[in-house]
Amino acid sequence: MKVLITGAASNIGFSTAISLAKLDNYVYLTVHHEYEIEKVLEKVKELKLENNIECFKLDITLESDRKKIRDLDIDCLVNNAAIGIGGSMVEIPIDLMKENFEVNVFSTLRLTQIYLAHLIAEGKSGKVVFMSSIAGIIPISFLGSYCATKASLIMIATNLRKEVRLLNKDIKVKLIEPGIYNTGFNDIMIENKLERKNTYFNDLESITLKQKKLFELIGHDNLESITRKIVEAVLDDSNKLLYRAPLSQVIMTKLYMLLFK
């Protein structure tokens, strides 16, 4: 298969790209910045996977970058690119929430629409994978903006799946809901609310420290479980929608949904 993964310079996106390449798929590994390409390609060469991976810049918020996928033969689009902005719903600047939604939701959907338009016009089969999160199901204090973007992706993926069926096209939609993994992404999101000095919460530093410790405690260091689920979704030709990992947090999510919904 030919698979394009956004936001794949490191962590889950990179791990997934490597796993797919090792299975002899061809991967368009895309990164946010030009300067990330050289470092990524060095790692790819070390793994002797340069024949299976092509790396280029794809900032999903830029129309000029999104247009790059029009000329590519892609069997599966993995929407992995995302940012996390922390802050309380009481006072988070709306401009920052707009930025969060622009990257995680609107730009993701714009890229997906370009891909779908190509599939429909050419009469081709394909897959779209959306990276949501258990944060889209379980509200996390001071991370409400990020949680809201991931909840939106759940609705977008679920509705898109129903709609493409009405087109009678062989287009599969997959939804990934990872739990907490200690990649550094969560730390940045938890901490960046401290950059805004004026706040109603006098103990925000203490709250932030407690959140970091909790995330480190329950988070997984090994990315294998979620990488395996994404690879499964990419390669799976069934109509299955939802893929979650790690198991411990999947159970926690199900308990939450039973008790509070």
* Cβ-Cβ contacts under 8 Å for 14 (sequence gap 6 or more): 8, 29, 40, 43
Closest by CA to 150, choosing from 171, 124, 127, 132, is 132
Closest by CA to 55, choosing from 85, 87, 84, 18, is 18
Active site annotation includes 146: yes
Q: Which of 115, 146, 181, 243 is catalytic?
A: 146
Q: Which two tokens mark 52?
A: 């299976």
Provide the annotated active-site residues: 146
